[in-house]
Chain A
Amino acid sequence: AQSVTQLGSHVSVSEGALVLLRCNYSSSVPPYLFWYVQYPNQGLQLLLKYTTGATLVKGINGFEAEFKKSETSFHLTKPSAHMSDAAEYFCAVRSMNRDDKIIFGKGTRLHILP
């Protein structure tokens, strides 16, 4: 069965500093992996996705993530944090059942310090 673990329910970084949000997955087959962002009182927005091909995936708002099969990781990074990046971030993996479900991590709330 697939699963997703996000390390750290809260992460704080200073404005201009590197953002690193960690995600490890469990999947018995090559996974499809996703990162979503949620701003307060809004729905989730797809940041980026890995399906096949290049393991470094670029997304919106300057974020990127690298699929590392040997480490079963899909960490999200951004070189320089901006105040507008403060939000909750969810890592997710596609279910391999026929129901098209996605397995979400519990989320990491990113705080940006001035």
Chain B
Amino acid sequence: SQTIHQWPATLVQPVGSPLSLECTVEGTSNPNLYWYRQAAGRGLQLLFYSVGIGQISSEVPQNLSASRPQDRQFILSSKKLLLSDSGFYLCAWTGSYNEQFFGPGTRLTVL
């Protein structure tokens, strides 16, 4: 069966520091992968999606970037974090009917 992992689970970073969040999927090949963010009290915001290795589409211009170095690995990065980057980050992949399966999430607090 398919499994999706995210790490770290929680992260506290100072403003201006770099960021790297990792997502890996097991049990499937060539999945479509997605990064979402939930800010406090707000819905899901799609940040990036990828249909294959090296193929990244950005939904929202900001100081975040994404990369897909391997088929089942999706990385979210930033060179300099802002206070507004705080939130709950979710990785997801797409199943047969476009349903999305989500990872456990990373809680990021920028101080």
Q: Which residues of A contact B (CB under 8 A)?
A: 32, 34, 36, 41-46, 49, 51, 90, 94-95, 99-102, 104-107
Contacts and interface: CB of A to CB of B under 8 A. Distances in A.
A32 B98 contact: yes
A74 to B, nearest CB: 14
A42 B88 CA distance: 9
Interface size class of B (residues with CB under 8 A): 20 to 34
Contacts of B90: 43-44
A101 B97 contact: no
22 contacts: A32-B98, A36-B102, A41-B105, A43-B90, A43-B104, A44-B90, A45-B102, A46-B101, A51-B97, A90-B43, A90-B44, A99-B32, A99-B51, A99-B57, A100-B49, A100-B51, A101-B46, A102-B98, A102-B99, A104-B43, A105-B43, A106-B42
Contacts, number: 56
Given A41-B107, A99-B49, A105-B43, 6 more contacts: A41-B88, A42-B104, A44-B92, A46-B99, A95-B98, A101-B46
Nearest to A50: B97
The majority secondary structure among interface residues of chain A is loop
B97 A106 contact: no
A53 to B, nearest CB: 12
Contacts of A46: 99-101
B103 interface: yes
A100 B102 contact: no
Contacts of B6: 43
Contacts of A44: 44, 90, 92, 100, 102
B107 A100 contact: no
B52 to A, nearest CB: 12
B94 interface: yes
